[in-house]
Structure 1
Amino acid sequence: MELPRATAHDARPKQVCVTFDGVSSCIAAARDAASAFLHGHAPPTQPTFHDDVLLVVSELVTNAVRHAPGPLTLRLALLRDRIEITVRDTNPVPPAGRTPDPTGGRGWPIIQSLACDVHVIPHHDGKTVHTELAW
């Protein structure tokens, strides 16, 4: 895990960036990394804020594991009034909603309902899904 540099006036990290191998076990590891980052850094103003962040992280990483072969990078950054969550993966195809069934289809609508901003940034070798949740 790459630890961010703190500013001179605040010793707490403002962002964290972690690269995972893209296998299914990294979903729990990404959630754990997000939980550790939030602990003491992101004061929730909503009772479900931490849970919402962990759910968005889980869904973004799960989508990357299921639809993009290879490594992925999770980045969390604290902004003035929100948290930015991004996942970069190796599949350039943007996420799309689908009719939910027993195997999935619920993650993308969950992400869109919890985030105040969602957009996809394509790259020649994949994409970055960028989300922000207000606190």
Structure 2
Amino acid sequence: MAVDPVDGRLHASAAFEGQGSCIAEARHLAADFLTGVRTEHGIAVSQQALELTQLVVSELVTNACKYAAGPLLLDLRIAGELVEIQVWDADPVLPVARAAEAGRVGQHGLEIVMAVAQAFEARREPVGKRITARIALTDDPGVTHNGRRH
């Protein structure tokens, strides 16, 4: 975990080769980051936020490994009362949530991410694309970073 010298926000980043083991490594990075945010910086992070962040990281990294050949980048940062999750990969094709199909098995990752995130964005970059999802740090939006109510 580090403090961004430009915007002063807490963040953690990692580059992965895109192999299957990177999914678990990315989940661990997310858990360690939010645990450190809570214990080292006193920022309120609910258990639900921790679990949802790991879920979103897992789904986004899985999609990058599955659909984009090559490396991927994961960036986590605290943005106000949210954790911002960004995954970059080299494939410029933007993901599209599929229409609901009663018998479909799998391929629900993007739907899950969009359902649990406060915000979701997919944009092309000069090379590849960047997917951003934001998760609330607390279950109670009235709780500030120091754990006090507004």
Task: Give the TM-score normalised by structure 2.
Answer: 0.77
Separation in 2 of the partners of 1:53 and 1:59?
10
- The DSSP-based 3-state class of the residue aligned with 2:51 is helix
How many angstroms does 1:40 deviate by? 3.1
Map of 1:122 onto structure 2: 124
- The DSSP-based 3-state class of the residue aligned with 1:96 is coil
Contact preservation (8 Å) 2:89, 2:129: yes
- The DSSP-based 3-state class of the residue aligned with 1:111 is helix
Contact preservation (8 Å) 2:34, 2:45: no
Map of 1:63 onto structure 2: 63
Aligned pair in 2 of structure 1 residues 124, 114: CA closer, same or farther (>3 Å)? Answer: same
Map of 2:142 onto structure 1: none
Map of 2:2 onto structure 1: 4
Aligned partner (choices 17, 41, 51) of residue 21 of structure 1: 17
Bigger relative contact order, structure 1 or 2 (CA pairs below 8 A, ≥6 apart): 2
- Paired residues in the alignment total 127
- The DSSP-based 3-state class of the residue aligned with 1:125 is coil
- 5+ long unaligned stretches in structure 2: 39-43, 138-150
How many angstroms does 1:4 deviate by? 2.3
Map of 1:37 onto structure 2: 33
- The DSSP-based 3-state class of the residue aligned with 1:59 is helix
Task: Give the TM-score normalised by structure 1.
Answer: 0.85
How many angstroms does 1:49 deviate by? 1.2
Separation in 2 of the partners of 1:5 and 1:118?
24
Deviation above 6 Å: which 4+ runs of structure 1? none
Map of 1:75 onto structure 2: 75
Separation in 2 of the partners of 1:109 and 1:19?
25
